[in-house]
Amino acid sequence: MKVFCGRANPTTGAVEWLEEDENYDYHQEIARSCYADMLNDKDRNTKYFQGICAAVDRVKARGEKAVVLDIGTGTGLLSMMAVTAGADFCYAVEVFKPMAEAAVKIVAKNGLRDKIKIINKHSTEVTVGPDGDMQCRANILITELFDTELIGEGALPSYEHAHKYLVQEGCEAVPHRATVYAQLVESERMWSWNKLFPVCIQTEDGEKSIVSPPEMEGCPGAPSVYDIQLNQVPLKDFTALSDVVTMFSVDFSKQVSRAPSCFTVRLEPIRSGRAQVVLSWWDMDLDPEGSIKCTMAPYWVQTASKDPPWRDHWMQCVYFLPKEELVVRGQSVNLAAFRDDYSMWYKLQQVRSEEDKTEVHIESPVCQCQAHLLWNRPRFGELNDRTRTAQYIQALKEVLQPTSICLSVSDGSLLPIVACYLGAEQVFALESSAVSHSLMKKIFKANHLQDQIKIIEKHPDSILSSDLGDKKVSLLIGEPFFSTSLLPWHNLYFWYARTALSSHLTSSVTIFPQSASLHMVIVEFKDLWRIRSPCGTCEGFDVQIMDEMIKNSLDFRESREAEPHPLWEYPCKPLSDPLEVLTFDFREAVPERSIGKEGTVTLLRTGKSHGAVLWMEYNLTSSLSVSTGLVKVSDEKGYCQWTPHCKQAVYFFSTVSAPGTLVDCPSAVAYAISFSPKTGDVTMDFKLLS
């Protein structure tokens, strides 16, 4: 049996569906899962164990048998905790078949198979009765169905069904409740992830501006939350306009409703400012009294803890208000939190009188301008980066001539407008998707350039001379940026596009950027290594079967390749100097033969060599370049400083997932890196040297 999987193809700039082995999707799910991160979350595991022990004790104190329903059991860890705490029997539900099979083995290995039944179903399909999956309803409900947004993994529908059909009324629940908190802030940095700011350009004719279309200004944005490691955002990057407020709580021991809801809290602004963003997180009480608490609160809230527990499976939420609104200190406003089955969003509302009973309409925000469909949050930030934009403008000024026939090849780029403002004779913009075509048409119109920039909705290999007005391109420009790119080198699609367009270029064409290079540095991560680290024993239970399962999936085909991570969120220290490993000359066509390099990089600093980080740098001209990776080798804390707009490629060394292979005090790392023109892929291999 075969399955079809979508993969970015750097040679075509498209996501293509490839036929893969039936085990491919399963191995990807395991290899990229958060299981290792959760099992290594000591704070989470300890508090769950404490909460489970307390729940079992309460049931036993009533003279009842403790029957547990564990929804989303995963490895079976929480069920094993329950049995160890004295539960009489556990029904552990897991819908993912490979995980359910692993749970059976893990439970057996820990000698608990007689008291734990693994049910490989979705919880809403579980039946109760003499011939059912469960002999009787449970009186303890244990779940771990939560994501960063709390409800994004379908917790509410699962709880609603469980209370109706699977557990007793008044059951114990672990966790007992969850509470969502919010804080209203002003932040130009975060707002730049949601709106397009004006761009000012100095030209020979004076200052000109790039502005966004009206529909973008009033657009509520993307409906999805932006989940990030808020602990990596410095206090200087936002201003709190309110204290932290409690928005709502969910009591999991009682009937839960999935029906859309609205929760309103009256805010007293602590300072005046522009309300732009709501920062939000949650905590959970593992017992009714709230004495066992697990919180996702960021560092400025957890005053008692300078270094909050690190976890990647639960982070913090950034919600963008539909529009920027002024709030005044001392003048109350209402902050409304809306939710449906799987998501949440926020709005500011005027304080209404008691007599005003206007019905609140709960409608999820929908992007109306198309920008939020094409550009993700980091892309908005990239387009709003004034320093980066200034580099492109300066570089274009160096190469653009009044006679330039300019063609832009990038998804939703502002470079065609810059070229137009700087005086190019004619400008074409290649937009290969209907969405990017439609969006750029609106932006060009908002800047009164709809008659000066021609949009061509074609792939490069389909371009005809007539599309370009029977003219040859003398200046080919790109950032490059393509929305389908996942890894840094996927934007080398610009090179393939340039090659396909060769017949439409003048013999003296200027290519911008003229070249690119792949760079690398060996690093020690502060925490990110935990997502690939084996657990071995978790709270006294042997979970090595899970470790082996993850390792096998990582070793399955290309699962042992680099993976994208936004490293500004994940501190790491450089153990080597940065090194240029491959170069790509865009002035020439894509070669037929592979480009490769082998060598060793010396480790100059002591530390644990967790992996290699790779990124691209683009040489706009011979003297100007932009980086998609390392901005500064070491900050005041010794950590690398990364560009916040791009994901870097992280290749974890095998020593992270298999500590037994660790080389004592390695002095260097041998590497072999190769670029295949046929596939557009970069393959790599590393070996630690003593």
* Residues noted as catalytic: 144, 153
Which of 315, 235, 238, 243 is CA-nearest to residue 282?
315
Count Cβ atoms below 10 Å from residue 394 Cβ, excluding itself.
13
Look at the block and give the residue holding tokens 């734990």: 116
**What is d(CA 652, CA 667) in angstroms, rounded to the nearest whole number?**
17
Pairing of β 537-538 and β 515-525 = unpaired
Instruction: Write down the H helix ranges in 276-319.
Output: none
DSSP classification of residue 202: E
Phi and psi at 653, nearest 5°, equal -70, 155
Phi and psi at 49, nearest 5°, equal -60, -45
DSSP classification of residue 218: T
Q: Which two tokens stand for residue 269?
A: 């602004």
Q: Is residue 307 packed enough to be buried (19+ CB in 10 Å), middle (13-18) or exposed (0-12)?
A: exposed
**Which residues, including other chains, have CB under 8 Å from residue 523's CB and lie 6 or more apart?**
572, 573, 574, 575, 609, 610, 611, 612, 613, 640
Phi and psi at 520, nearest 5°, equal -145, 150
DSSP classification of residue 134: B
Q: Which two tokens stand for residue 83?
A: 């049995």
Buried b (16+ CB within 10 A) or exposed e, 250-263: bebbeebebeeeeb
Contact between 11 and 679 (Cβ < 8 Å)? yes
Give 407's strand partners.
428, 476
DSSP classification of residue 586: T
Contact between 66 and 91 (Cβ < 8 Å)? no
> Mind spelling out the 3-state secondary structure of 28-80?
HHHHCCCHHHHHCCHHHHHHHHHHHHHHHHHHHHCCCCCEEEEECCCCCHHHH
DSSP classification of residue 606: -
DSSP classification of residue 532: G
Q: Which helix (H) or strand (E) holds 391?
A: helix 386-399
**What is d(CA 261, CA 93) in angstroms, rounded to the nearest whole number?**
28
Please provide the DSSP assignment of 448-511 as one string.
Answer: T-TTTEEEE-S-GGG--GGGGTT--EEEEE-----TT--SGGGGGHHHHHHHHTGGGEEEEEEE
Torsion of CA 207, 213, 217, 218, to 10 degrees: 160
Q: Which two tokens stand for residue 252?
A: 């999991």
- Is residue 213 classed as helix, strand or coil in its secondary structure? coil
Q: Which two tokens stand for residue 572?
A: 């790491």
Buried b (16+ CB within 10 A) or exposed e, 97-117: ebbbebbbbbbeebebeebbb
Look at the block and give the residue holding tokens 């999936």: 553
